[in-house]
Structure 1
Amino acid sequence: MKKEISNETKEQVFKLNARNRLDDLLKVAKSLRPVDSNVEQMILKEVSELKSEAKILGLTEFTHIASLVEKMGDANEMIPFYMKRLVVIALEELLEQVRHTHDIQKRLPKVHDQTLIEALREDHRQGGPKSMLIVDSDLLFLNRVAAILSEAGFMVEKANNGTDALRKVLDKSFDCLVINYEIYDTNGADFLSDLSEVMTHSLLPIVIIYNDEVIQTQVDSKKILADDTFVKQIELDPLLLSVQRIIARNERMKQQVYIDELTGAYTRRFFLEQLESLYKQENSKQEESTIAIIDLDFFKRVNDTYGHTVGDEVLKTFARFMQSHVREQDVFARYGGEEFILLFPGIDSKTAEKQLNQLREIFSKQKIAVSDDVDITQTFSCGIVEIKNEQLEVMTPTELLNDADIALYEAKKAGRNQVLVYHEGMQAKNHKYKILIADDDKLMRTKLFKQLAKGNWELLLATNGEEALSIAVSEQPQLILLDGWMPKLDGFQALQKLREDVQFKDTAIIMLTGNDSYEDIAQALNMGADDYVTKPFSIIELEARMNRLLIRKDLR
């Protein structure tokens, strides 16, 4: 009588057989080349057969991992070469399953303190859910971490390679990015470098995860820019706490950088980021939009007659008025001083002109209390430029802003309290401005002087902050390019002294620095800088920004 083989024996035989087959498959997978289509299909077929056998034996963990490998290709398609690392990882995990009997669930990350999950969920219920992007080539780890973060109330998206991750970041705004340093189609340093090139203005917190402490030590010595770093571990409590803390800190920073403290409108920085984002979308959507620059008429008279407290109240009243009348998708920002800027996505200039004229008439009749028995009214002028499809490849966003400034200048010349749309017949004021370049770097001074000398400028040079102040007093430049870090008196100290002197209250000042710290940017803008440019920068863009500031100066 034939003795029946027990399930336990069948499982042992299967594991022994699978171990040998997987050893061979791993050797093949590690040497894969893009043209090895037959070999790739052989791997998929072998794994599929092992999966079928494991399913009969009830080996659910093995079956689950094998299914992941199957999803990487089918009977008619090759496994993309960039997914090679994923195949190797999955095969190694399958081999781990047949070599050891312990449950894979015991090796997956988890949260030790469940009250942490509940606390995070409550935070998201009160403050709104935060969005996360998790990037890791280890699909088991990726799925597990994503599941835990989702349970904690985060809105989670996943990517298993750098290419997909970069596309997702460009397509959508996230509150935090968690990325494994060793994703298979790139590494963390290269990914962050690519990210910085396409997101020069973004405040995106980044957490890096290393596979082991050796790699962490090696990479940390290279000073990779990240908000926090972790080594892969079973308990995710520290990671969850760090992510929540970093997002909260970033929200506070955004309030400082993106929201104007006085008026509650967006800042110029936020507006420019939104404009650049829309500008990219326009290339594919072919949808016209409009930019409007608004200036409160004779605002200096308000400050001189009633004081800056009343002037501030006028600015706040106007901001509240505009915020209550624009659409949710419109971007209304304070451009600086008494100037504001408005982006109308999907609206042409004719429609925008009609809407702004209606708002101009309504606001001009609104009473603003100066005292218990005195009310005043305020008007505004506006310049409009339409973002036309044919302009997108030949004009930068900054050049479009210059055209809106020119239209505003024409509205002021025509008597104020009106809205004008830019056309090619409009010209900026022809005037040779004095420009002071203050930079201790001789190479940078020489470069700026040679490039800007081609334009209609009278150029002055200073090598330190004290010299810059002295030249400013004697020459009265209309615009100052001020390096952030200089000997004797640094750029921030010079900026403060300039703004404290009433004769430089309206002088246009652009900070030039190699430090792109958001804290420094916020500090410079809060101290009175009109603009902030980080090195290296495009001379063409710098000139465009200088023109814009000088046009605005002419309007005062």
Structure 2
Amino acid sequence: MLEKYKQLMYERIEKTISGWSDRKAVQENELFQFFESVKETAGTIGMEELSKEAEKNLAYLDEESDQLWKEDKWTQLTERIQNESAGGDLPSIHLETAAAIDSVPSQDVPTILIIDDDLEFVSSVKAVLKGNYFQVVTAVTGEKGLELFYEINPGVIVVSNTLPDGGGLPLLNQIISKAQKDLIPIVMVSSEGSTEHRIEAYELGALDFIGKPINPSVFVPFLRNRLMQRENILRHIQKDYLTGAYKKDALEPEMLDQLEKIKLGESARFSFALADLDFFYSVNQKRGHAHGDEVLRELVRLFLQMKKPEDKIFRSDGGEFAVVLPGKSAKEALAFLDQWREAFTQKCGVTFSAGLLSIAGKTSLLEGQITVQAKKALFHAKETGRSKTVLYEEEESESYMQGQLNLIVVDDDQIVRELLKHHFTKRREVNVQSMTIKTFEDGISFLESDWYRKDQQYMILIDRVMPKMNGLEVIKEVRERYGGKNILICLLVPRQGESEITQALAVGVDDFMMKPFNVQEVASKIDRMTERTFS
């Protein structure tokens, strides 16, 4: 599959350079955009040597300069690129590695959260970790880092000793305090490795302190060591620290046990539900994560107060919980969920939606199928008004409103557009929502198209650097025309783009992703952003 994109890269390089040869001179900013695009795209499709050569050339160029370069001068930069693109020494291992990373399901890959506005450091560490089968999530501000912390449950957090925004020490303390409760190792990094900085880090509660630059050959086994230690501890803990619900990895054994009891005739039925707080992301945004934590605790406390001894609750992710109700029929389970919701809403002023499945008699359903069907019923409850329970009925499931996510990619790089379109056309779903994907080669063609419907949901991936109209200009126009209620925007930025982060936030960017990236990384980002915002 990647060989196709490798060939497209060769053809694009040759076409561009051939076009330059017919001109008297080329502007410096055009050269910069070309080499930056080659660097990012080559890195995305696993052509690491070509990406490195393109990056070296950027050091000789100014993005803002319109100085003219004649052929005898610009060929000094393109000669090595052409040699690389001719296949000189691009080892196939890079392509194999990229394919292997993309094929690994995100939930099986250890996740490292990095909070630092030093994009050069973040990008280099990210490349090392991705090459060693870690999933990396990054934040350029402490506030965004805290938000992601609550969403993704990372295995390790790597954080700068000076948070890159106005949150300062209180925000750093909040991150460290939550990490300690969740038994997540905090690794503090700093360009200052003095004894005073180390003492300060340990007094704040960091488990480790590492000076920049890091040594990759030591850092990777170090992280694996910390992850292994955490897993060994968690293996002996059954319940979620925050809420007291069972952890989600205890759900599968419980479901298998209930199915086995039905098979052996020891039980006639059980009911299973997925309950998810409505607009929980807004609760956290408006009232703060500390209030959100209290809401979660109260939800579980009320369940434990109202349940029968055999009933169990499991925390799944964020504001979603799984409930197993042995012996309860669909009617009894519906009544219980309604009573639980009413008590919770009276207490907290927040509602939840639920998808319910009742299993009676011998069944061929597997544990995973039960969860998927309950998820579909839950999503139907969300789509038809929220604050309700939908009972999954096989004969009616085709009519369930599954919703649709419209993914839009705006990037002048044909290879990036085709790579993402191929992946998401094949995938077809995000969080049980159906998905469509459209691609545009520049911002003007996107804005002039008939793309928007106010009753639909959109996720836009947009490149920062494009001809005619740059990504920030496009985003500003989108926000002015359509607002932000049903539109999420992720800006694709090069590692040198840190100076524009503040400006991007000001025009309405929801999140960032650094180029180069792999497709699985994009998929995980979309999953997280849409689940937290559109639920």
Q: TM-score, normalised by structure 1?
A: 0.34
Q: TM-score, normalised by structure 2?
A: 0.36
